[in-house]
């Protein structure tokens, strides 16, 4: 998961995977290459035009036909400008299209990757794959083709032309090109290597800056301002060291290429000058050679810069294709897909209603990244309309059952049955369409309150949305918001308080009118008054539905038909409140400790 990994060698196999995204652009890209070839040819032609003017008109003093030559020159200019306009436009179109298609594909894949993927991968990492890597790939593929095809075309044409004009001078130029390529290779290899180091240091530095600002309030209370500045100076110092080293290399590299160009001109001037004096070379030809030698040294250093960048972008391709090839862990059976349709083409006409009987039959389960079974031969029958409370300490593993009922994970052994049929007989979409889910830290999407509630049932009318809000008692605060029902909740719901977000997410769940309700109760992060409001809303939401509640509130626990006590990932006790209290076990302990303070 290192952002700075770089491939060392070009691998065709890696690039081949991205081909399907580039192929639709194939015709346009061929056209781009053709335009560039014409463009390069015209660039070759200019010195020849100059040569012609010098040799046939200026030196001889013959004005006849000069007008036609100038007109041709101007025509070439117009054609070249046209190719420039067309190839940039086409290339950008290809670049943006490839990036768009890749982004869409990555996002689509993300929607079917398992939940476990999200708990193991930082959001920032996924975002970088989805947005910047895809843009980078589009950019590198297209502009790599542009730079390389133009450079190659120019060099080939230039060499052919030079040999046609004068092979002695051409040989000098080829020798010079060889030397310059070696020098460039030497420098670029080192610059590239150091660049990796600079990027690594830079991302460390950005991270430290980020942390320094986010942590500033805590740093203040700990009186660690100076200490944290000293640590930061260490980071920027290391960054300065490597970036100065690369600056030194760059300082020498650019002028060295220039020097090589100067030497080429000197060599051509000497050899060409002697030939001209002997009458073996026309003056215009000498001028053309001088032009070529300048442009070729420029092209070599440009290609030296482009090629490694192209190879380096292989890392982006590898990361994106790895994501696209990643398989979801939960796969629908062919029969279920056939009957109920996939996530993106549901056959709702075949869907049975969900009644709400849930049964765990001999379930054994281990998390994909775990080493022990957290459930072993677990059996539990939850008849429709009943409520299961799951209690235990923080981090005890209370989410496991919920993860299985939601089919975020599948049991490693045994079966989960919904209405008497294996959960795998039907599709996730069928299940999720009948499920209500409220998180302890409720997640809202930016947009209006109404839009957020409507997320529960997309086709609900405004009136239905309001009714759902009224049912959980959220209407009172919503109507007081500036903007009322259309009030923007901000990114992640940031403009609402935690209690308000919980009410909205309850209304959202109710609107879906689910048969199975999952509630991850909040610990006391809101004050007592707000808590009462939420408690009442929860009671409304759960009524008449099968529910699984990760519970912290005594009132919820007491209302449950079945209480499961979880400790260190395992279910150690189960039963009603009364039987568990009478058993004087772990639950009794918990209960006494939790409320002893108020005795």
Site string for another protein, 151-190 (x = CB under 8 A): ----------------------------------------
Report in angstroms how near the CB of residue 310 gets to another protein at its nearest.
21
User: Could you identify the residue written with the tokens 């026309």?
Assistant: 282
Strand partners, 573: 565
Report in angstroms how near the CB of residue 7 gets to another protein at its nearest.
22
Closer to another protein at the Cβ: 8 or 278? 278
Closer to another protein at the Cβ: 363 or 590? 590
The single residue among 22, 239, 323, 564 that binds another protein, judged by CB under 8 A, is 239
Stretch that binds another protein, among 145-153, 317-325, 361-369, 585-593 (CB under 8 A): 585-593
Cα–Cα distance, 115 to 406 (Å, whole number)? 11
Segment 319 to 358, residues that bind another protein, using CB under 8 A:
343-344
The single residue among 338, 393, 422, 462 that binds another protein, judged by CB under 8 A, is 393
Closer to another protein at the Cβ: 152 or 269? 269
Stretch that binds another protein, among 147-155, 318-326, 429-437, 480-488 (CB under 8 A): 429-437
Q: Two tokens at 522?
A: 């909040």
Site string for another protein, 496-535 (x = CB under 8 A): -x-------x------x-----x----xxxxxxxx-x---
Q: Are 416 and 360 in contact (CB under 8 A)?
A: yes
Q: Residue 79, Cα to own-chain centre: how many angstroms?
A: 41
Report in angstroms how near the CB of residue 566 gets to another protein at its nearest.
12
User: Three-state secondary structure along 246-261?
Assistant: HHHHHHHHHHHHHHHH
Q: Two tokens at 297?
A: 């040294």
Count of residues that interact with another protein, criterion CB under 8 A: 158
The single residue among 19, 30, 74, 171 that binds another protein, judged by CB under 8 A, is 74
Burial of residue 471, with CB atoms counted within 10 A of its CB: 0-12 exposed, 13-18 middle, 19 or more buried: middle
Report in angstroms how near the CB of residue 227 gets to another protein at its nearest.
8
Handedness of CA 33, 34, 35, 41 (dihedral sign): positive
| Contacts (Cβ under 8 Å, ≥6 apart) of 389 | 549, 551, 556, 557, 559, 560, 562, 563, 564
Report in angstroms how near the CB of residue 442 gets to another protein at its nearest.
8
Cα–Cα distance, 150 to 157 (Å, whole number)? 11
Report in angstroms how near the CB of residue 482 gets to another protein at its nearest.
17
Q: How, if at all, do strands 413-418 and 387-392 pair? A: unpaired
Strand partners, 286: none
The single residue among 100, 196, 302, 570 that binds another protein, judged by CB under 8 A, is 100
Stretch that binds another protein, among 30-38, 70-78, 414-422, 476-484 (CB under 8 A): 70-78
Cα–Cα distance, 79 to 83 (Å, whole number)? 6
Q: Are 47 and 291 in contact (CB under 8 A)?
A: yes
Segment 76 to 95, residues that bind another protein, using CB under 8 A:
77, 80-82, 84-86, 88-89, 92-93
3-class DSSP assignment, residue 417: strand
Stretch that binds another protein, among 30-38, 112-120, 142-150, 165-173 (CB under 8 A): 112-120
The single residue among 10, 107, 185, 186 that binds another protein, judged by CB under 8 A, is 107
Segment 10 to 69, residues that bind another protein, using CB under 8 A:
46, 49-50, 53-54, 57-59, 61, 63, 66
The single residue among 13, 68, 178, 596 that binds another protein, judged by CB under 8 A, is 596
Closer to another protein at the Cβ: 91 or 311? 91
Q: Are 524 and 548 in contact (CB under 8 A)?
A: no
Report in angstroms how near the CB of residue 187 gets to another protein at its nearest.
13
Report in angstroms how near the CB of residue 456 gets to another protein at its nearest.
6
Q: Are 304 and 185 in contact (CB under 8 A)?
A: yes
Q: Residue 463, Cα to own-chain centre: how many angstroms?
A: 38
The answer to whether 8 contacts another protein (rule: CB under 8 A) is no
Segment 432 to 451, residues that bind another protein, using CB under 8 A:
432-433, 435-437, 439, 443, 445-446
The answer to whether 123 contacts another protein (rule: CB under 8 A) is yes
Query: Which stretch of DSSP H or E encloses residue 436?
Result: strand 435-438
| Contacts (Cβ under 8 Å, ≥6 apart) of 184 | 257, 300, 301, 304
Closer to another protein at the Cβ: 54 or 153? 54
Closer to another protein at the Cβ: 97 or 412? 97
Site string for another protein, 243-282 (x = CB under 8 A): xx--xx-xxx-xxx-xx-xxx-xxx-xx--xx-xx-----
Cα–Cα distance, 500 to 511 (Å, whole number)? 17
The answer to whether 453 contacts another protein (rule: CB under 8 A) is no
| Contacts (Cβ under 8 Å, ≥6 apart) of 538 | 506, 519, 521, 556
Burial of residue 390, with CB atoms counted within 10 A of its CB: 0-12 exposed, 13-18 middle, 19 or more buried: buried
Report in angstroms how near the CB of residue 377 gets to another protein at its nearest.
26
Q: Two tokens at 579?
A: 């039987």
Stretch that binds another protein, among 105-113, 169-177, 360-368, 410-418 (CB under 8 A): 105-113
Cα–Cα distance, 438 to 512 (Å, whole number)? 12
Stretch that binds another protein, among 5-13, 155-163, 380-388, 390-398 (CB under 8 A): 390-398
The single residue among 180, 429, 478, 564 that binds another protein, judged by CB under 8 A, is 429
Report in angstroms how near the CB of residue 89 gets to another protein at its nearest.
4
How far lies 412's CA from each of 112, 377, 408, 597, in Å?
20, 10, 13, 42
Find the distance separating the first CA and the last CA of the chain, reported in whole Å.
Answer: 52
Segment 211 to 230, residues that bind another protein, using CB under 8 A:
211-225, 227-229
Strands of 375-382's sheet in order across: 375-382, 358-365, 413-418, 421-422
The single residue among 464, 487, 581, 585 that binds another protein, judged by CB under 8 A, is 581
Closer to another protein at the Cβ: 75 or 156? 75
The answer to whether 111 contacts another protein (rule: CB under 8 A) is yes
Q: Two tokens at 171?
A: 């040989």
């Amino acid at each position: 998961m290192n952002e700075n990994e770089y491939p060392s060698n070009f691998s065709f196999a890696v690039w081949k995977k991205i081909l399907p995204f580039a192929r639709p652009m194939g015709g346009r890209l061929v056209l781009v290459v053709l335009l560039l070839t014409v463009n390069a040819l015209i660039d070759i032609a200019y010195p020849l035009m100059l040569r012609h003017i010098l040799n046939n008109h200026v030196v001889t003093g013959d004005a006849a036909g000069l007008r036609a030559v100038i007109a041709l020159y101007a025509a070439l200019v117009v054609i070249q400008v046209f190719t420039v306009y067309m190839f940039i436009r086409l290339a950008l179109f290809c670049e943006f299209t490839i990036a768009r298609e890749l982004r869409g594909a990555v996002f689509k894949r993300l929607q079917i990757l398992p939940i476990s993927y999200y708990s193991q991968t930082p959001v920032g990492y996924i975002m970088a794959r989805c947005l910047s890597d895809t843009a980078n790939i589009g950019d590198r593929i297209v502009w790599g083709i542009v730079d390389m095809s133009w450079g190659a075309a120019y060099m080939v044409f230039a060499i052919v032309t030079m040999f046609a004009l004068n092979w002695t001078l051409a040989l000098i130029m080829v020798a010079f090109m060889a030397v310059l390529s070696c020098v460039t290779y030497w420098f670029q290899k080192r610059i590239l290597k150091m660049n990796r180091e600079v990027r690594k240091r830079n991302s460390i530095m950005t991270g430290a800056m980020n942390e320094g600002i986010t942590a500033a309030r805590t740093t203040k209370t700990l009186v660690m301002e100076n200490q944290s500045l000293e640590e930061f100076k260490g980071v920027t110092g290391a960054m300065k060291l490597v970036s100065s080293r690369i600056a030194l290399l760059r300082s020498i590299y650019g002028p060295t290429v220039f020097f090589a160009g100067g030497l080429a001109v000197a060599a051509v001037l000497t050899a060409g000058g002697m030939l001209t004096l002997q009458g073996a070379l026309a003056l215009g030809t000498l001028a053309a050679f001088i032009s070529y030698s300048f442009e070729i040294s420029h092209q070599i250093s440009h290609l030296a810069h482009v090629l490694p960048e192209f190879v380096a972008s292989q890392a982006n391709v590898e990361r994106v294709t790895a994501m696209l090839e990643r398989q979801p862990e939960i796969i629908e059976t062919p029969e279920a897909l056939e009957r109920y349709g996939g996530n993106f083409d549901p056959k709702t006409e075949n869907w049975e209603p969900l009644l709400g009987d849930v049964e765990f039959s001999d379930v054994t389960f281990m998390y994909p990244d775990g080493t022990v079974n957290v459930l072993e031969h677990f059996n539990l029958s939850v008849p429709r309309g009943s409520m299961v409370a799951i209690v235990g300490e923080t981090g005890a593993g209370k989410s496991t059952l919920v993860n299985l009922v939601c089919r975020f994970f599948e049991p490693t052994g045994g079966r989960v049955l919904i209405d008497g049929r294996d959960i795998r007989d039907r599709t996730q979409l069928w299940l999720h369409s009948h499920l209500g889910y409220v998180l302890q830290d409720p997640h809202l999407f930016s947009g209006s309150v109404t839009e957020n509630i409507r997320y529960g049932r997309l086709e609900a009318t405004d009136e239905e949305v309001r009714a759902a809000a009224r049912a959980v008692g959220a209407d009172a605060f919503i109507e007081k918001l500036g903007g009322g029902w259309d009030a923007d909740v901000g990114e992640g719901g940031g403009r609402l308080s935690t209690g308000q977000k919980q009410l909205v997410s309850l209304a959202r769940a109710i609107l879906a009118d689910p048969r199975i309700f999952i509630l991850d109760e909040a610990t006391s992060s809101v004050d007592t008054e707000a808590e009462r409001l939420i408690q009442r809303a929860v009671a409304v939401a759960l009524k008449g539905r099968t529910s699984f509640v990760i519970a912290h509130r005594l009132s919820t626990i007491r209302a449950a038909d079945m209480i499961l006590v979880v400790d260190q990932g395992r279910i150690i006790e189960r039963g009603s409140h009364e039987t568990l209290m009478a058993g004087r076990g772990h639950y009794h302990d918990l209960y006494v400790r939790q409320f002893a303070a108020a005795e």
